[in-house]
Amino acid sequence: MEVFWYIMIAIVLAVFFILDGYDFGAGIIHLFFAKKEKDKVVIAKSAGLFWDSNEVWLVAGGGMLFMAFPTFYASVFSGFYLPLIIVLWLIIFRAIGLEFRNQFKYQMWKDIWDTSFGVSSLLLALFFGIALGNIVRGVNLGGVENGISAHEGHYFFLPLWDSSFSPLSETPGIIDWFTIIIGVISVITLAIHGANWVVLKTNSSINQKLKSVVFKLNIVLAILTVFSLFVWQIVNPNSLNNFIDKPYLIVFPIIYFIGLVGLFFIKKLKRDIHAFWLSTLLIVGGITSSLASLFPVILPSINDTHESLTIYNTSAPEYGLSVALTWGVIGVILLVIYAIVQKRLLGGKVDKMDYGH
């Protein structure tokens, strides 16, 4: 039952990063490449028409995590308290940036909320990547210093950064040189995804330029991917053991590299949807590869005093998991129906669609 809920939560969170990921990416594209007012309007609309429904998947994932793995939920929500508050404020400012932009026609008013939308999207992509970096790096469970625990074995608290700024520190912070690398990879990946979404859903005047941007970003992403694999071995020498012990897990990195290699041919793709599917493979492959490298661990311990948190030592009782099964499946079905209906209603280009202002 633990494995079932782990897979369900992984799927829901992956769908969130695919769907809301293109909103983050559209915000990054809006910030750096949209210069004309008509481009700013349609790019904001390509995110604004979808962002609220896409974030339902994050709420669902959080609820399922609380239900299935309450100890893990309590641990990460206390340990990552500072970045979670930052993420909450960024989500707020991204939303109000989209919703407030067209309330008044003053240029300064539009510029303020355009910046809010773009910067919030950029920082959200960065912080979600940093969060993944913390998960694969591990944390100091129990707050152990000099062999003495400051907390119970499943609790921790991290500052935003440690003075050493090193992932190899006994007490690393949330931000260090390793998590920054993963954060930058996240920003580039979602920028590529957002650019493909803008090309797919709008008739923006920068669409052809965005294909060149995706190609260049993909080169940077390929370099950073290889580099991150090397530094990951420094941070966690056992990071690839799961792929050696269970060779079938190699399918997940293959998904990632199919997306990565495919995007080098973006200028030759005949349909815009193909580029979007390739960047979707990037996101799916990246998330699943990270989870597969850890399984069944969901939060590694970097000290020898306390064991890592796994799907087995953080799960709810078997009875609770089984009772929630029916309602969890019903909830996911409703989410899927909701997403399908919305995407059908908002199919095609969004340029002439009413944003409801």
Residue 185 structure tokens: 């990879």
Please tell me whether residue 148 adopts helix, strand or coil conformation. Answer: strand
Distances in Å between the Cα of 126 and the Cα atoms of 36, 103, 180, 252 are 26, 29, 8, 22
Query: Pick from 220, 327, 313, 325: which is nearest to 264 by CA?
Result: 220
Quote the pLDDT of residue 265: 92
Q: Determine whether 160 is exposed, middle or buried from the number of CB atoms within 10 Å of its CB (0-12, 13-18, 19+).
A: exposed
Q: What DSSP string runs through 67-110? A: HH-HHHHHHHHHHTHHHHHHHHHHHHHHHHHHHHTTTS--HHHH
Q: How far is CA 27 from CA 48, 49, 61, in A?
A: 10, 13, 23
Residue from 272, 271, 290 nearest 282 by CA: 290
Q: Is 257 exposed, middle or buried (0-12, 13-18, 19+ CB in 10 A)?
A: middle
Could you tell me the CA-to-CA distances from 202 to 195, 352, 356 in Å, in that order?
10, 9, 17
Cα–Cα distance list, 94 to 77, 151, 323 (Å): 22, 35, 37
For residues 242 and 294, is the Cβ–Cβ distance under 8 A? Answer: yes
Are the beta carbons of 197 and 22 closer than 8 angstroms? yes
Residue stretches of the chain with pLDDT short of 70: 150, 355-357
Check residue 160 and give its pLDDT: 85
344 class by beta-carbon count within 10 Å (0-12 exposed, 13-18 middle, 19+ buried)? exposed
The predicted structure's pLDDT at residue 268: 87
pLDDT at residue 29 in the model:
94
Instruction: Determine contact, residues 46/97, Cβ cutoff 8 Å.
Output: no
Helices (H), 202-317: 207-235, 241-245, 251-262, 272-294
Q: Provide the 8-state DSSP code for 316.
A: P
Q: Which pTM value belongs to this model?
A: 0.91
pLDDT at 357: 52
pLDDT recorded at residue 89: 94
